[in-house]
Structure 1
């Protein structure tokens, strides 16, 4: 039996992300359901936030949408305090550090910190793609697709 969707769980699929990606891909709920091997009513309930997909269904939906399953998860980062907690955890686990000057505040990744090499490479890839978007080399949609599919 499916679990009831709870907004305070950080490991639940975010139905609005499923809906956004499905519609951007030009798919009907029925089509996504067929591609993912679930029922149309399941997709509808996921998108409405009434239910959450089981892990295997989340993976199948992500595969059908051509995104990494992590891009469909609601991590519960709704406030500045929530975001700060994420940054604190990046500091603890990956050596991220805050930097501030007159130009603003930012987070830096020290590639020499234990466990930080992959994060450093990922942030560098993100910076490169964002620069391509900002220069007009790629569209906003291509940028969003890259973000959702990163790590597949």
Structure 2
């Protein structure tokens, strides 16, 4: 999905107009809606400073806006192929179902395992209805910020518990 589509998605999710969003990130009254429309249609791409301002205003991580081109199934497949080449992601079959898995012999296996483990842990909480869809989406759209904060809080709680014992 192109960056413009992500901006449009999050702008609508937050209930903002193009003009309001544009003004929030510093464009003039006359340029605000025009510039955001240009971003959303792909006629322009925001420079890094505007990308960061958009992410802050939309309350998401900048990485949530700047994703690979997955607008088509072919583009999505090439994204998977790149993930296979770079990170050792493999396709396979388990009990008749297609699945993606991490290749244990890959150099990036441990790092990728930690990332997937975190994702699965939060997704499992959603499946068990321990968190809401909104909380799950908040985790995804702010990743890795909330994951880092949760981990830090868990470590601090563990240390506090250890020092009390």
Q: Same fold, TM exceeding 0.5?
A: yes
Structure 1 runs of 4+ aligned residues shifted over 4 Å read: none
List aligned pairs for 1:1-152, cutoff 5 A.
Answer: 13=3, 15-39=4-28, 40-41=32-33, 42-110=35-103, 113-152=106-145
| Residue in structure 2 matched with residue 3 of structure 1 by the alignment | none
Unaligned runs of 5+ in 2: 146-165
Q: Is the 8 A contact 2:64 2:141 kept in 1?
A: yes
**1:115 Cα deviation (Å)?**
2.4
| Number of aligned residue pairs | 141
Give the TM-score normalised by structure 1.
0.74
Q: Is the 8 A contact 1:58 1:69 kept in 2?
A: yes
- Report which of the two has the higher share of helix: 2
Q: Alpha carbon RMSD of aligned pairs, Å?
A: 2.5
Larger relative CO (CA 8 A, sep 6+): 1 or 2? 1
CA contact (8 A) 1:99 1:105 kept: yes
